[in-house]
Each structure stands twice: as structure tokens, then as C-alpha cells.
């Protein structure tokens, strides 16, 4: 389906979720970076992207994704998501 509609953000996000289940982090990262460049996400994709970066050992990119996720989720009225991301930063990225 993505082949026939390469800019279909719903398909990108769904496919990223499937790759996440399979542990294919490179594919998750590529899809979510493309998704976020084309979609008005409300915050969830930033958390997924941060986890994928973290699994790939890209700690600074993970931190940046969580920080952007906090900003976006607050802007879309999702304070509990923002709080979850902030807690992750406080616990796992407090260097």
C-alpha cells in the first residue's frame, strides 16, 4: 500500500508500528522520520522514534525526540504523554 501511496502518513505510521513489533529499528526510524516530516503528529510518534533511536545507541537523537515530543504533545493537549516523556528524560537521560 505504501508503494502506491508513498506519502500516506497513516500507512507510514502503521508500518512503523509493525516494524517496531519486529524489532527492526532502522526501518522504524526511517519511516517515522518521513512520517514526521509529512504529518501533524500529536506526540506519539516522537516517543516511538526516541525508543528506536535509543535501541540503536543514538542517545542524543533519542533525547531530542523526547524533547520535541513533550513540546508537541503539550501543544495538542496531551499533558500525560508529555509527563511520561519528561519522566523518561529525568530518569534515563539525567547525565
pLDDT digits over 14-41, tens only?
A: 999 999 999 999 999 999 999 999 998 9
Residue boundaries of the structural domains of the chain: 9-92
**Which band of pLDDT confidence, cut at 50, 70 and 90, is reported for residue 95?**
confident
For domain 9-92, give the CATH number. 1.25.40.10
- What is the pLDDT, as a whole number, of residue 91? 95
Helices (DSSP H) in 1-95: which residue ranges? 9-22, 25-38, 44-55, 59-75, 79-92
Q: How many CB atoms lie within 10 A of CB 66?
A: 26
The tens digit of pLDDT for each residue in 39-67 reads 989 999 999 999 999 999 999 999 999 99
φ and ψ of 24, to 5 deg: -95, 80
| CB-count burial class (<10 Å; 0-12, 13-18, 19+) for 91 | exposed
End-to-end C-alpha distance for the chain, whole angstroms: 43
Looking at the whole model, is its pTM more than 0.85? yes
Amino acid at each position: 500500500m505504501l508503494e502506491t501511496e508513498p506519502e500516506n502518513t497513516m500507512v507510514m505510521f502503521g508500518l512503523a508500528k509493525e516494524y517496531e513489533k519486529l524489532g527492526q529499528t532502522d526501518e522504524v526510524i526511517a519511516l517515522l522520520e518521513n512520517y514526521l516530516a509529512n504529518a501533524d503528529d500529536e506526540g506519539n510518534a516522537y516517543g516511538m522514534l526516541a525508543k528506536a533511536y535509543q535501541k540503536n545507541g543514538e542517545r542524543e537523537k533519542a533525547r531530542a525526540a523526547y524533547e520535541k515530543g513533550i513540546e508537541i504533545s503539550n501543544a495538542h493537549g496531551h499533558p500525560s504523554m508529555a509527563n511520561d516523556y519528561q519522566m523518561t528524560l529525568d530518569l534515563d537521560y539525567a547525565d
